[in-house]
Structures are given as C-alpha cells and as structure tokens.
Chain A
Amino acid sequence: MIRLPDGSEAFVIDGHIHFWDGSPENWRNEYGRAWIECFYDFHKSMSPKEAVWPIEKFMKYSEEDLINDLFVEGYVDMGIFNSTYLKEFYKNGFNTHVQNGILKQKYPDRFILCGSFDPRWGEAGFETFRRMVEEYPIKGLKLYTAEWYNGSRGWKLTDPMAYRYLELCRELGIKNLHIHKGPTVYPLNKDAFDVHDVDQAATDFPDLNFIVEHIGLPRMDDFCWIAAQDKNVYAGLAVASAFIHPRPRYFAEIMANLLYWLGEDRILFGSDYAIWTPKWIIEKFVAFELPEDIKEEYGVDLTPQAKRKILGENAARLYGIDIEAQKAKLAQDPIGQRLAAMSA
C-alpha cells in the first residue's frame, strides 16, 4: 500500500517477482553462471546506487530478504510469482513453482503462484500439467517461449501443441498467461521474442488473458500494434518500470505509448524482483508526472486513478481479487501483523 500525492491509497500487486537460486551450487553448467551474471548486469546498470546488491547476495537471497524488500520496505501487498524453470542451466531449476510454492504455502494471501507448460513436452506432458494444477494452487502461468529444451531453442504460442495446452488451460480454469517477451536471452533466428504469435493466440483464445511481460522490449512497437487490436492483451511493466530511474524521459514516452495504444485498464505494474527492488520504483512511480509536451503529443495523462489501476487494481481484476476483502485478510497474516507492530 502506498499513498499517492492526491492523498488516495493504492493497493499494490507486484505483477512480476521471483525467488530464485542462481548460486554456483545450483549451476548445471557454464550457462547457469552466464545467466545470473547477465541478470546482475541488468540489476546494477539500472538500479540507483543505494539499491545495488553485492553479486553473492544477488545469486541467492533469503526468504527474509524477499519479505522485507517486497512487503516491509517495498509497499507491495501481493506478488505474482513468475516461475522460471531453466532446468538445462540449473540443477534444481531457477525458480520453479515448487520453490516458489513453499512461500505461497507459508503466506497464502500474499502470493499468486504461476506454473507453466512447454508444448515440447508433447501429449506426454498433459498429465504432468494436470497434476501441477491439482497439487499446487496455480492461478496463472508463466510461459517462456525462449526456453531451451532438448536441443530446441524456443517455441511459439501458435505451435499446434501450444494450442492443445491452451485448450487445457480453458478446461482447468486458468485464465491468465504471463508471456515472457523481453530482452535478449534468445539465440537463433526463430526469433522467440518476436511478439506476433501473441496476436494470433489472443484472437483464437479471446477468453484467456495474455499479459506480455516486459512489453515486448525490444519489440515494444510491434507489441503496441497487437495490443491495440486484441483487447485481451495486457502490458506487464517489468523491465520498463526500471527506466524510471536512469531514463525518466524514456519511461514517460513508454508510458504515454502504452496509455495511448492500450489505455490505463490494461497495464500491470511489475518490478521483476530481485532484478530490481520495488521500493524505489514504486516511490518514483507514484510521484511521476508525464512532461507537458508528451501529454500534449499523445493526449494522455498518468493520473492518480491510472496509477492506482496500474499498481494493483488491474491485476486484482484479472485474478478476481476483491481489494477491500483482501486488505482485511492481509492485515491478519504474519506479515500484516508485523507491519502493524512496526507502525504502532
């Protein structure tokens, strides 16, 4: 929860968080090292100096770090675990739903847990997928089209087998799909951060919501055209939100584009924790104003109402969360009690 300059309060759902293990003990090979080092460069290059961690902590942080960074210091009320597997790089996976599920079990009202599927599992994977949904409180999916698997270096949402899994999502009542379409990490020319597959899948599955994480950067323009057409496509701000510190002017232009092409009802805040900690992003975001010339050029504004929607109301709507009821629950959980004790 954070207070906006107009005095209103915003309920905060961080739409993109991780609890990963990138420590050397978990590296399967050289790729494990290269992956976490690349993330660390993202972290270090965009964070304010005082928010930069030593690399050892960045590789593996504790449960207490996460609770503190999100809920105690970071204004976050709830977080969405974007589970990421990377089993070809990490012995136990990077942050699987199993790892994230431990925290979900401990603080059930604080987290939304995403699972995943990979069409390259084939029909043999249907049972595994069903079991995952049965055994864990999976409310959404994180789909990573750039993941390596058995010599394949990526897949598309439009692959026929991906459609079979999307049909299974329908059957099992999973409506929200967080699709990683973001920077780098994809090798060859079957360009897996190309965003066009989202277009067709979103048209064919109008009852599912497609949250494009990282707004397709570096394909934001293509993403905007698609999102303008498909009303069930949403913008996940992780990565883009970090620009608010080093490049506020670009952040303003990105926001103006999203407000213009998608509107304030289809943008979801995300910090990409622990690549970036939410505290500074959220503080800057609530204080942020679009420069006059940008407002004029696009005819949009980042009003307090838009900020409240982006910070939490939009995600709450997608996940069927009644914010007032949720606030009451959260006040009672161990973290809520801890916060109450601190402010007493």
Chain B
Amino acid sequence: MNKKRDDGDFEEIGRLIQNDVDGALRVFRSRDFGTRLRARIAADERAVKAKSLLRRIAVPAAALLAVSAALYLLNVPRPPAPGPAHPRLFAAVLRQLPSFSRPGAESPAGPAGEAGRSGAGSRFQSALASAERRKEEARETPLRADRPRIPVLSLKKKMEILYRDRVIERALMLLTGKSKEA
C-alpha cells in the first residue's frame, strides 16, 4: 500500500521534472548553444592572447622603467674629473724636486741659492746627505774582529731575565719598605 503510494509520488515528481526540463529545453534549443559556446571560446582565446601580448610588452617596459629610475636615483652630481696634467707644469714640479745627483755637496741648512725650494725638499736633501755621511764613516772604520759579538736572545730567555729582574726589584722594595718601617 505504502509502496504504491510512494510510486505514485515518485511518478508525480518525475512528471513535474519532465515538464520543467521540457520547457527549459525548448528555450535552450532555440538559442543555439553550440554557436554561442564557440563564440565564447573564441572570445576567451582572444582575451588570453591579448593578455599574453600585454604581458610580453609590459614586463620589458616595467624593467626598463625600473632601470631608468635606478639610474636617475644613482646619478649623484660629481665634480668634473681633472684634465690631463700639462707637460710644462709637470716639468716645473719635477725641477723643484731635490736632485739626487749632488746630495753630498749640500749642507742640511741649505745654501742661499735654494730659496725657491720647498721645506720638505730641503729636509729630504739633508736626510739624504746625513745617510751618505754615515755610509762613508762606516767605510772608513772597518769592523774589528775582536769586538764581542752580542748574542741574540730568544723571547723565552728575555722573559726569564725580565722576570728575574722583577723578582730582585720586588725583594729590594720589600727590604727597603721594612727597613723604613723599622
């Protein structure tokens, strides 16, 4: 009994759905779905192509813009680079430098003719002269064979000596302090 009633209900549901579908399908068939779908697919493909073209142009353009902006921001105004030194000026400066050919002949104080020279130049010349003098003295006084040779101490040895000195110094300090107290 119940089953029969259910079947009747189901049939009615089926009929209602069929009516609904039939009406909608009539409209659907009249609208030519296939043509509309193909048009939409074509439009979508065109949109995708246009987007990809836009992207192809936009990416290099953006990169170029970024690079130019970075260049503009990095373009800090700098003073112009100095031009090449004039050969005459360079020669004049060289002439003002102390000569290396006659170092020994000039005294550290400098002769009166050297008025045009700079202070640094005369100091250099005097240092050079004294060095020459020391060389000559060394040549005149030959090394004596009987001079005692100073032994080269190792760092450990030096530290030992220093430590010993310190100990002696402390002991002396203590002694003097005690004697003062006494």
- Are A and B genuine complex partners? no
* B interface list, Cβ under 8 A from A: none
